Amino acid sequence: MRKDFLDFSGKSILISGAGSGIGKATAQYLSFLGAKLLLLDVNESSLKETLSLCNDNCDLLIIDLSDSHGIKNLLTNKLKSFGALDGLVHLAGIPYISPLKTLNLDTVDKVLKINTIAAIELSKIFSKNKMYKIENPSIVLISSVYGFVGSSANVAYAMSKSAIHGITKSLAIELSSKKIRVNCVAPGFIKTKMLENVAGSFDSDYNERLNLLHPLGLGEADDIAYGITYLLSDMSKWVTGTILSVDGGFTSQ
Ligand SMILES: NC(=O)c1ccc[n+]([C@@H]2O[C@H](COP(=O)([O-])OP(=O)(O)OC[C@H]3O[C@@H](n4cnc5c(N)ncnc54)[C@H](O)[C@@H]3O)[C@@H](O)[C@H]2O)c1
């Protein structure tokens, strides 16, 4: 039995999408628990703001994850100075609301690159020898309730997130030989910039309907940060290939 599961001192974690919303909240919480963080985002100013809220041993890395082929060099070079990682959290993501008849395939491609292909590329780099530490390494990917259920005008985002479930389960098996655990958190709606951005696409009843979709009401970014922290921590050392719904009951209805 142990009481120190939430002590992250000595642990190094890479967080993509750390500039905003759930990524920012996760960075603040893990830093509070003592982790050394490598904060990754495409938005330099918001990333600097997150960095200013974290411990002095944290660092940042600007990468545009829509450039799938550019990730490897930038991250590998950075890890040479930052050191090996205990955990990877892929939170960077973009929404795309569009009915089928106006769906733009270039935008679909961008959504897939950031939400999904980057999860594969980051996991590939993390799982290379000497990039991860051998004591309970953990990858946490992020999907959505729309990895499980459909909604209108959401084909690209839903595709990008349901694919994360397949990636999680396949990598959990493949990387078990290295003792790397791979899990996923599937959030319901959280009050972040992403929600503000898509809310404009809906009618005025939207907020009311959104609340009804969540028996426990809308979530906070911290609710997701806590789920991610569990999957990074030694408390979940026998958990791999799991999709953890943190959705206020959305997918139970
Ligand atoms: N907010 C929600 O309701 C909700 C629900 C379910 C799942 N999610 C998922 O949670 C994750 C975080 O969402 P959020 O609500 O915090 O969003 P957010 O918009 O607040 O933050 C997303 C971050 O990703 C970064 N990003 C976007 N494109 C990038 C790129 N090309 N390269 C690098 N970084 C990039 C942004 O700069 C931003 O800092 C996403 O994967 C999202 O799909 C969110």
Candidate of 16, 20, 213 to mutate for ligand 1, largest count of ligand atoms within 8 Å of Cβ: 20
Residue 10 identity: G
In the reported structure, the alpha carbon of residue 177 is separated from the centroid of ligand 1 by a whole-number distance in angstroms of: 31
pLDDT along the chain (253 residues), means of 10: 95 98 98 98 98 98 98 98 98 97 98 98 98 98 98 97 99 98 98 80 77 94 98 98 98 96
Ligand 1 binding pocket includes 195 (Cβ within 6 Å): yes
CA-CA distance, 146 to 208, in Å (whole number)?
A: 19
Looking at domain 12-247, its CATH architecture is 3-Layer(aba) Sandwich (3.40)
Phi, psi values for residue 227, rounded to 5°: -65, -45
CA-CA distance, 189 to 219, in Å (whole number)?
A: 6
What pLDDT, in 10s, does the model give residues 134-179? 999 999 999 999 999 999 999 999 999 999 999 999 999 999 999 9
- Give the per-residue pLDDT at 205: 81
Candidate of 24, 194, 206, 218 to mutate for ligand 1, largest count of ligand atoms within 8 Å of Cβ: 194
Residue 1 CB-density burial (10 A; 0-12 exposed, 13-18 middle, 19+ buried): exposed
Q: Which residues are marked as active site?
A: 157
What pLDDT, in 10s, does the model give residues 188-200? 999 888 888 777 6
What are the DSSP calls for 91-125, one per residue?
---------GGG--HHHHHHHHIIIIIHHHHHHHH
- Give the per-residue pLDDT at 57: 96
What is the number of other CB atoms lying within 10 angstroms of the CB of residue 163?
A: 18
Q: Locate the domains of the chain by residue range.
A: 12-247
What pLDDT, in 10s, does the model give residues 120-143? 999 999 999 999 999 999 999 999
- Give the per-residue pLDDT at 206: 78
CA-CA distance, 116 to 144, in Å (whole number)?
A: 12
- Give the per-residue pLDDT at 24: 98
